[in-house]
Amino acid sequence: MINKYKTRQLISFDERCPMMCKHCYTYELEEKAKKRTQKELVLSLQNKQFDIIYVSQSYENFFDEQAGLQLCSDLYHTYQKDLFVITRNHLSNKAIERLGALNREMQTQGNQLFLSVSVCADDSYGFTENVQLCPTPRQRLENLERAFRQGIKTLLIVRPVFPNHIIPVAECLNLIELAQPYICAVISSGLIATDKILNKLGLNREAFRYLSNGDSDYLDNLPSEAALYVDVESELKKIERFCEQKNVRFFRHSMPALNALAGN
Per residue in 48-59, pLDDT (tens digit) is: 999 999 999 889
pTM of the model: 0.95
Give residue 263's pLDDT band: very low, low, confident or very high (50, 70, 90).
confident
| b/e burial code for range 221-257 (CB count within 10 A of at least 16 → b) | ebeeeebbbbbbeebbebbeebbeebebbbbbebbbb
Cα separation of 211 and 223, whole Å?
17
| C-alpha pair distances (Å), 10 with each of 188, 211, 216, 217, 232 | 18, 26, 13, 10, 26
Q: Vertex 177, ends 214 and 55: CA angle to 5°?
A: 50
Query: Mean per-residue pLDDT for 234-251?
Result: 98
Helix (H) / strand (E) element for 251: namely strand 249-251
Residue 184 CB partners (closer than 8 Å, separation 6+)? 153, 154, 155, 249, 261, 264
CA distances from 142 to 30, 45, 149, 170, 174 (A): 34, 31, 11, 20, 15
Q: Report phi then psi at 153, rounded to 5.
A: -75, 125
Listing DSSP states for 17-65 in one string gives PTT--TT-GGGGSPPPSSPPPHHHHHHTTTT---SEEEEBSSS-TTSSH
Range in 4-13, 26-35, 64-73, 206-215 the model is least confident about: 26-35
Report, as an integer, the average pLDDT of 70-95. Answer: 98
What was the pLDDT predicted at 100?
98
**What mean pLDDT value characterizes the chain?**
93
Return the bridge partners of 251, or none.
Answer: 187
Inter-residue contact 189 to 255 (CB < 8 Å): no
**Torsion 31-71-86-261 (CA) sign:** negative
Phi first, then psi: give them for residue 67, nearest 5 degrees.
-65, -40
Nearest to 15 by CA among 53, 68, 69: 68
Per-residue pLDDT, 167: 97
